[in-house]
Amino acid sequence: MLLNGQVLLNGQVFLNGQVLLNGQVLLNGQVLLNGQVLLNGQVLLNGQVLLYGQVLLNGQVLLNGQVLLYGQVLLYGQVLLNGQVYVTEWSSL
Taking the C-alpha atoms of residue 22 and residue 27, their distance in angstroms, rounded to an integer, is 14
Q: pTM (2 decimals)?
A: 0.23
If one counts every other C-beta atom within 10 angstroms of the C-beta of residue 57, the result is 11
Taking the C-alpha atoms of residue 56 and residue 67, their distance in angstroms, rounded to an integer, is 9
Q: Is the pLDDT of residue 86 over 60?
A: no
Model confidence at 68, pLDDT cuts 50, 70, 90, reads: low
Q: Is the pLDDT of residue 91 over 50?
A: no
Task: Write down the mean pLDDT value for the chain.
Answer: 56
